[in-house]
Amino acid sequence: MKSFSIGDHRFQSRLFVGSGKYADYDQMLAAWDASGTDCVTVALRRVDLDHQAEKRNLLDVIDRERYTILPNTAGCYTEDDALRTARLARELGLGDLIKLEVIADEQTLLPNAAATVRATDVLAKEGFTVLAYTNDDPVSARQLEEAGAAAVMPLGAPIGSGLGILNPTNIRIILDRANVPIVVDAGVGTASDVAVAMELGADAVLLNTGIAMADDPVLMARAMGLACEAGRAAYLAGRMKKREYASPSSPRAGRIHE
Amino acid sequence: MNITLNGQEKSVEPGTKIGSLADSVVSDRSRIAVEQNRVIVPRDDYDSVDVADGDVIEIVTLVGGG
């Protein structure tokens, strides 16, 4: 499969996969392997002062030759918290990539688009390669691009909901007008959701819960990877036009009753 | 002297450096990033930067997330 780029970063797979909610690291690594991904998201949190000693650190289990690490600012409800988290991620040696989230509301986890635009502007000027998480809204997608986002990541549906691509029309409009890669992020519940996003022309899909919360995460990871490739191929192939009435696949001429 | 470390009140000896504070909570400095009063402390400076009374210090690491 042809590689693609976000900023200076090249990726072989168009599926980005999270590292949250797995039963253990072994299951997570097996799922990543099955998905074919080469970019994984991680979060930053305070070191647990009471229990850190017995825990293996996530950085100890990620093969950085194989996987690009994409840190996120998940759980940040203010622009300031998101900026601090991004800078801490860079200080951790994770490079300039940041999945920027500024969340507006705990129940919906929907993004605060205005604050995300402001934070994108600041981080882009500081040299970050910003992948900006946002609503399925063509206006905020354009604003993020203008603010310096290297990629815009409209949601398919709320984080962790598994509802799929709720507004394919808006995703299509975002794709039509974009000059940066578009990564559909969040809400992907199963393989067909990935295929829908890729058939619309998305450059990539990012998901976590759809794999981690499947009954068999490793098998679902494989399904997601296959759907990503299938959807991309279908997009490139160019689907047939839809029509209201049937059109026979076999010739009308030469039928035996004629 | 008293500081707030990762949201918890802590008592530390005067003269404590960021480095010794970090070593008290993790075994590998390369797995953390440190913020002192909202300013990042570069890893190379851990052993030269003093912890001061009233400091608010965050020591963060990576965890699973999406």
Write the DSSP string, A176-242.
HH-SS-BEEES---SHHHHHHHHHHT-SEEEESHHHHTSSSHHHHHHHHHHHHHHHHHHHHH-PPPP
ipTM above 0.85, yes or no: yes
Burial of A206 (0-12, 13-18, 19+ CB in 10 A): buried
Task: Clarify whether A99 is annotated catalytic.
Answer: yes
Mean pLDDT of B25-51: 95
pLDDT at A56: 83
Of A2, A21, A99, A242, catalytic: A99
Q: DSSP string covering A88-149, please? A: HHIIIII-SEEEE--B--TTT--B-HHHHHHHHHHHHHTT-EEEEEE-S-HHHHHHHHHHT-
Which of A129, A135, A68 has the alpha carbon at shortest distance from A98? A129
Nearest Cβ partner for A72 among B30, B60, B65: B65
Beta bridge partners of B35: B40, B58
CA distance A131 to A205: 12
Beta bridge partners of A204: A183
pLDDT at A88: 96
pLDDT at A3: 86
Q: Is B6 on the interface with A (CB under 8 A)?
A: yes
The alpha carbon of residue A167 is apart from the nearest alpha carbon of chain B, in Å, by: 21
pLDDT at B32: 94
Which of A100, A99, A137 has the alpha carbon at shortest distance from A117? A100
- Please count the residues of chain B: 66
Q: Which residues of B touch A160 (CB under 8 A)?
A: 66
The alpha carbon of residue A177 is apart from the nearest alpha carbon of chain B, in Å, by: 26
End-to-end CA distance of chain A: 48
Q: Is A61 on the interface with B (CB under 8 A)?
A: no
Q: Chains A, B: CB contacts under 8 A, how many?
A: 102
The alpha carbon of residue A253 is apart from the nearest alpha carbon of chain B, in Å, by: 56
Whether residue A45 and residue B8 make contact (CB cut-off 8 A), yes or no, is no
State the CB neighbour count (10 A cutoff) for residue B24: 13
Question: Residue ranges of chain A with pLDDT lower than 70?
Answer: 1, 52-54
CA A178, A183, A185: angle at the middle one, nearest 5? 130
Report the residue of chain B nearest A45, measured CA to CA. B60
Which of A77, A86, A140 has the alpha carbon at shortest distance from A107? A77
Q: Which two tokens stand for residue A110?
A: 């929907």
* Three-class secondary structure of residue B24 per DSSP: helix
- Note whether A201 and A172 are within 8 A (CB): yes
CA A237, A241, A244: angle at the middle one, nearest 5? 150
Q: Which residues of A touch B8 (CB under 8 A)?
A: 49
Which of A182, A119, A172 has the alpha carbon at shortest distance from A148? A119
Band of residue B47 on the pLDDT scale cut at 50, 70, 90:
very high
Q: Is A91 on the interface with B (CB under 8 A)?
A: yes
pLDDT at A51: 72
pLDDT at A54: 58
The alpha carbon of residue B38 is apart from the nearest alpha carbon of chain A, in Å, by: 8
CA distance A128 to A149: 9
Compute CA distances A60 → A64, A71, A79, A89, A187, whole Å: 10, 15, 30, 16, 29
pLDDT at A53: 60
Report the residue of chain A nearest B62, measured CA to CA. A44
